[in-house]
Amino acid sequence: MKTRSRCRELLRIETSENVELRLNTEVVDGEGDYRLQRVVLKDRDTGGTKTVDAAGLFVLIGAQPHTDWLPSEIERVGPGYIVTGQDLMQDGQAPAHWPLSRAPLLLETSMPRVFACGDVRHRSVKRVASAVGEGSITVQLIHQVLSE
């Protein structure tokens, strides 16, 4: 089902009149007076650059969570998404290895007092605004933990 949905989305992008799909291309610069007006694109195959008009730019920096550097005590799923809060619970109970009397807090990892927020988190929304909001919540949770 996911594959079919992705194929439909790609077809929609490829057939849009206001979208030009460029493969093997990277944005190397942006230009404009007080707002983005142009981007400089580099063709990875030839090394050549081309400046094109652009009113906006969406940056996707990757879908891999890059959490290999974390200690093994921090539970991860899939390609490395960090498990937090309620997702750590098992049948309504904190995991057996959880050393605290309270349950893990909303964005707390399997390592007590260590928090994760944003795209790296399992089941996160994967949007900048959500990541910023989770960061704000994390600050509040840290204050809560520090007062324990």
Q: Are residues 135 and 107 in the same domain?
A: yes
Contact 102, 79 (CB under 8 A): no
pLDDT of residue 6: 66
Q: Are residues 137 and 80 in the same domain?
A: yes
In a domain, 7, yes or no: no
pLDDT of residue 2: 57
In a domain, 54, yes or no: yes
Q: Are residues 83 and 112 in the same domain?
A: yes
In a domain, 4, yes or no: no
- What is the distance between the alpha carbons of residues 44 and 23, in angstroms, rounded to a whole number? 9
Determine the structural domain holding residue 114 and report its residue range. 76-146
Looking at 34, 59, 84, the residue that finishes a domain is: 59
Q: Over the stretch 39-79, which tens digit does the pLDDT of each residue have?
A: 999 999 999 999 999 888 876 666 788 899 999 999 999 99
Q: Are residues 81 and 53 in the same domain?
A: no
pLDDT tens-digit profile, the chain (148 residues): 556 666 777 777 778 888 777 889 999 999 999 899 999 999 999 999 999 998 888 766 667 888 999 999 999 999 999 999 999 999 989 988 999 999 999 999 999 999 999 999 999 988 888 989 999 999 999 999 999 8
CA 127 from centre of chain: 7
* pTM of the entire predicted model: 0.62
Lookup result for tokens 């909303």: 106
In a domain, 53, yes or no: yes
Q: Are residues 55 and 80 in the same domain?
A: no
- What is the distance between the alpha carbons of residues 114 and 73, in angstroms, rounded to a whole number? 11
In a domain, 129, yes or no: yes
CB atoms within 10 A of CB 55: 9
Least Cα distance to 50 among 58, 39, 60, 59 occurs for 39
The domain tally of the chain equals 2
In a domain, 14, yes or no: no
CB atoms within 10 A of CB 39: 18
In a domain, 83, yes or no: yes
